[in-house]
Amino acid sequence: MLADMTVRDEHAIPAIVAEGLVKRYGETTALDGVNLEVPAGTVFGLLGPNGAGKTTAVRVLATLIRPDAGTALIGGYDVRRDSHRVRRLIGLTGQYASVDEMLTGAENLLMIGRLLGQSRSEAKARARELLAEFRLDDAADRPAKTYSGGMRRRLDLAASLVGRPRLLFLDEPTTGLDPRSRNEMWEVVRTLVGEHGVTVLLTTQYLEEADQLADDIAVVDHGRIIAQGSPDELKRDTGTQTLAVRPVAGSDLPLVISTVTDIVGASPDIAGTLVSAQVTDPAVLPAVVRRLDDAGVTVGEITLRSSSLDEVFLSLTGHPAEESAAGPRAPGATPSGSGGTTVSASAAAGGHDDDDHDDDDPAARIPAATRS
């Protein structure tokens, strides 16, 4: 299939196609035959615990490391043979914000623009545009070290968009953020896809994040994709639902527990006064209602819902998504994967127009060796 694809129509081909990706570090296999196809203009989630292979997959697809086997195309370009073209199409935001804390928000974005070869006027205009879009214009002239965690993450994401990438890799973008900042980041991602047509590959170990954002999800564990589909498809495919019952009176809790145990045929989970159990037969709900009504138990809450992604992941892997998986790390990798923003290959040129002046250009303060 990969050999038949061309790059003539950028919008008619998938954003990502990968077949049989393998990456090993010594005796550790980080990727073990990964296959992916991500349609353009969608959010694709890679879901799994730390050590599952999510960040390694991103690093391969973003041309940061070479696979030991397999093939991957980004927008129709091969990540090995056409890595310079791939880098012109992509942006990458790592798990931790990598903005320069001594520069202002505007200077950070100006620097990235200049490294991408934009003229100073073009880079300034793009910086202003992104600062306004990410609601950072009021803080544009403040050093990044004065920003909150959420503001730094938005600035980091803005930096990855300076070059207007068609594909954006977000490697656990909300790690360490408070709920409000996390929700703000989710809205930014929705806007990028819905209004700008950007394709997003999102890695996360937060089940709610994948459920909120992803059109399709691949569940990754020990370097393999063990399930793939939309959030609803994955929930439906587990074939189970969750029955939850909470009595009004705490004194009725033992009777509720025994009733659920008897009808379901298994011991339920108890959380305070909430009794819950996995069921496969929806007829369980009316049976529990009748039994409790006959016993004179007043129920304050009773529901039968589809499985959550947490329950799907537990069913597929036997362990929760947030459970860490220890193991050797990739040489040069940060403790939890990619560390921050990667600009496109055109940044290596460090191009500047003849009529530009660098006296107030933050890129001019970077040693030449770091520009190439």
* pLDDT tens profile 80-124: 999 999 999 999 887 766 789 999 999 999 999 999 999 999 999
pLDDT digits (tens, 9 = 90+) for 330-352: 444 443 344 444 444 344 333 44
pLDDT category of residue 32 using cuts at 50, 70 and 90? very high
Cα–Cα distance for residue pair 165/195, rounded to 1 Å:
14
- The verdict on 96 and 41 lying in the same domain is yes
**Running DSSP on this structure, what letter comes out for residue 240?**
-
Please give the pLDDT value at position 241: 83
- DSSP codes, 128-190: HHHHHHTT-GGGTTSBGGGS-HHHHHHHHHHHHTTT--SEEEEESTTTT--HHHHHHHHHHHH
pLDDT per position as a tens digit, 142-193? 999 999 988 998 899 899 999 999 999 998 888 778 888 888 889 989 988 9
Residue that the structure tokens 């990964």 belong to: 34
Q: Structural domain tally of the chain?
A: 2
Highest average pLDDT, of 16-30, 161-175, 307-321, comes from: 16-30
Residues 272 and 344 in one domain: no
pLDDT category of residue 295 using cuts at 50, 70 and 90: very high
Domain that holds residue 351: 10-103+165-235+322-371
Three-class secondary structure of residue 310 per DSSP: helix
Q: Per-residue pLDDT for 357 more than 70?
A: no
294 and 179 belong to one structural domain: no
Regarding whether 34 and 80 lie in a shared domain, the answer is yes
- The predicted pLDDT at position 12 comes to 66
Q: Is the torsion defined by CA of 73, 79, 85, 87 positive or negative? A: positive
Same domain for 246 and 362, yes or no, is: no
For the chain, the residue count is 372
Amino acid 115: pLDDT: 92
Whole-structure pTM over 0.75, yes or no? no
Beta bridge partners of 201: 44, 169
Please check whether residues 94 and 211 belong to one and the same domain: yes
254 and 229 within one domain:
no
pLDDT value of position 10: 52
pLDDT of residue 305: 84
For range 366-372, the mean pLDDT: 35
